[in-house]
Chains A and B, each alone.
Chain A
């Protein structure tokens, strides 16, 4: 198995956190993993993205020219990355912000209103965790339990109440995806 995912969005949407928490979880589950954030000038202008590679064996390249999954949190990211996803791959779209749809017919995509769901449960900043719920429901790369455990450990014990909101956010995203499928 070798699965590569790109997470992309505005800075502040928690895009790097999505990738990092997934990577952490994959590591805890015993997988080989690499996490590569965009850096330097790429980060200027408010966009952020990262690539996560998860596999059974040593990972050759942490870069991905044809990722299996792409999670886009804002419209510019959809335009930048929709053509990169491998044929047959999957796009996850934050439909609260992104109003357009990918034009490619050889991939599938899911629209998750993650910002709205996050607001409903009381914290718009948990939009990324909502998306992770949907992402993990669909991809099954790691189990929901393992993911939440990793999320808790990467967020640190100080943010106990934040973790409660994140649990809720994750569950809502997960559930939303189950209903979509």
Chain B
């Protein structure tokens, strides 16, 4: 076991290269610059590796689309404002069924916002993000180890479903270092027939998202939707912590879930029974798995580093079967586990009082 201490941004880049990523295009933006820099230094060292510092985020994603069509694993990365720029290309890749991995190291927003860790891009990431009827597979790591594992998985998922996949992390995940063990990546299984390499002696092919005939376009939309249904059925991932006898459950992802785990751990010594549900895939959202818990648990607190975005998915998942409370710290603030623990204690007491009244 070869454990290394690496910064999150570098972990993603290294995991991508190990997973066979051979094309990277990107544009500097804090707090993801180290990813771009690591790629510049390392991807060209491997056979066939291409690095381009593009003129813009828009150019980067379209270069990735071209490289992906040409048959290699391709990636781009950015932070919130840059991801907004990439949406045109992401929508286009979804339409053209091109695999590719997009990394969003989120920062405070809206607008230029700031460069502190934030989770304000949940809606953008999980609802497709660009125009049109499509989704992007969204993975939300909470440790550097997961950055490594999920980056490798993102390439596999993108290939399997021929669709863009996103790593949704934040400035803290990107900047922090933790020990990481890189797993052995799976062999790529992506059929030649999807690649555009010149017609040779055979029939020429084209890849397109423009379908002028509305009934053909409708069918294309349903075709994509059928694929998304399969993804929703097969690919949800989540983690639960101390859920066995929990009376209250925190729902949080990424950095917020780390904080929440710390808070739940702190409350472990008290008589409060608090558990944690951490979605790892944000789309597809582990809705039915979360709903299962509402059979026993009637109080949920959604904690996000935003004003409440995943909150909507939790409401959709729980379908009114439990009370949902929300605690948010937007704008780049990362609360301490102690702070969150206090919030939990307060709300816990409130809810038990309510129970007594009933």
Binding site for B on A (CB under 8 A): 20, 23-24, 27, 32-37, 39-41, 57-63, 65
Contacts and interface: CB of A to CB of B under 8 A. Distances in A.
Q: Which 7 A-B pairs have the closest CB atoms?
A: A60-B262, A35-B177, A40-B115, A40-B30, A27-B179, A36-B176, A62-B176
B5 A20 contact: yes
Contact of B259 (A20, A33, A60): A60
B280 to A, nearest CB: 15
A11 to B, nearest CB: 16
B172 A27 contact: no
B160 interface: no
Contacts of B336: 61, 63, 65
Nearest to B264: A60
Contact of A57 (B172, B265, B337): B265
A127 B171 CA distance: 31
Contacts of A62: 172, 176, 178
B262 A36 contact: no
A62 B171 CA distance: 12
Interface in B154-196: 171-172, 175-179
Given A60-B259, A61-B258, A20 B30 contact: no
B263 interface: yes
A52 to B, nearest CB: 9
A60 B265 contact: yes
B303 to A, nearest CB: 12
Contacts of A23: 5, 177
B5 A24 contact: yes
Contacts of A63: 172, 334, 336
Contact of B31 (A39, A57, A59): A39
Residue in B143, B177, B261 with the greatest tally of chain A CB atoms within 10 Å: B177
Interface of B: 3, 5, 7, 30-31, 115, 143, 171-172, 175-179, 258-259, 261-263, 265, 334, 336-338
Contact of B258 (A20, A37, A57, A60): A60
Given A27-B5, A27-B179, A61-B337, A40 B31 contact: yes
Residue in B172, B175, B176, B338 with the greatest tally of chain A CB atoms within 10 Å: B176
A122 B261 CA distance: 47
B83 to A, nearest CB: 17
Given A41-B115, A63-B172, A33 B178 contact: yes
A36 B31 CA distance: 12
Residue in A20, A27, A41 with the greatest tally of chain B CB atoms within 10 Å: A27
A25 to B, nearest CB: 10
Contacts of A27: 3, 5, 179
A55 to B, nearest CB: 10
Nearest to A23: B5
Contact of A35 (B5, B30, B259): B5
Nearest to B173: A62
Residue in B5, B31, B115, B172 with the greatest tally of chain A CB atoms within 10 Å: B5
Nearest to B177: A35
Contacts of A65: 336, 338
A23 B4 CA distance: 11
Nearest to A65: B336
Contacts of A33: 5, 178-179
A34 B31 contact: no
A41 B113 CA distance: 13
